[in-house]
Amino acid sequence: MNKQKTLEILQNVQSGKITPEDALLKFRTDPFEDLGYAKLDNHRELRQGIPEIIYGAGKTAEQISGIAKAMSDNGQKLILITRLSLETAGLVKNDLSLLRYHETARIGIIGEIPKPDGIGKIVVATGGTSDIGVAEEAALTAEALGNDVVRLFDVGVAGLHRLLSNLDVIMEAKVIISIAGMEGALTSVIGGLVDCPVIGVPTSVGYGASFNGLSALLSMLNSCASGVSVVNIDNGFGAGFLASMINHQK
């Protein structure tokens, strides 16, 4: 149940169209919808301001389609599906023709991305080109949640002048998502330059001793730059979601 639907029920009580008891029953029965294989959280937007988002990995095309249809029937206008494979996306699109698939980000979107209504810009910066998949997941998530996103790709510490040539961009940001593998040094560098929150995203990019992103994760967690927080390895979605929350704290 979204805020608009909740307000509509309350207005109907005020106008006498429904009784308070009927409204109470509606609120009690609407918190989630049991689909058998999933329990759709209809009150997520009412509690958190953002409706439920589908995590596509490990779900069949039929399950994803069923959850998306239930969301749409409940009034959700924008549906985001993360970690969606190309093969599964094709099967879902056969059932839901409005699905738009972004292969690099592995994200499916149903509905129109809203106009930005955050307080400023979110900058998504990557250490290298190999980090772009995670970066696009973060960027598209933030855009779907109503943010103006600026992408800065391949500005890692192996060529620091590439980042420094964009100082005006990063210093004007309200939130920065710093995405890097290898030793993850980009996040500390950015954290020492700006006055806004920096969200570090370690990636599983790197040679053997990077331990599939663990090295970058530990480096970011041990950053000496203040104002840096860190999400899990390759978790572009989590970074985009958190950045949006920060950028909407008016």
The number of beta carbons lying within 10 Å of the beta carbon of residue 10 is: 14
Q: What is the pLDDT of residues 107-158, one digit of tens each?
A: 999 998 999 999 999 999 999 999 999 999 999 999 999 999 999 999 999 8
Q: Please identify, in words, the CATH class of the domain defined by 121-247.
A: alpha beta
Residue range(s) of every CATH 3.40.50.1970 domain in the chain = 121-247
pTM, whole model, 2 decimals? Answer: 0.85
Closest by Cα among 183, 171, 176 to 220: 183
Per-residue pLDDT for 229 more than 80?
Answer: yes
Q: What is the pLDDT of residues 36-79, one digit of tens each?
A: 878 877 777 777 778 889 999 999 999 999 999 988 887 788 99
Q: What is the pLDDT of residue 51?
A: 85
- Percent of the chain at pLDDT above 70? 93
Q: What is the pLDDT of residues 102-118, one digit of tens each?
A: 999 999 999 989 999 99
Q: How confident is the model at residue 189 (pLDDT cuts 50, 70, 90)?
A: very high
pLDDT (average), residues 202-218: 95
Q: What are phi and psi of 213, to 5 degrees?
A: 105, -10
Residue with tokens 């985009």: 240
- Cα–Cα distances in Å, from 3 out to 10, 17, 18, 108, 198? 11, 19, 18, 24, 30
Both tokens of residue 202?
A: 């370690």
Handedness of CA 189, 182, 198, 163 (dihedral sign): positive
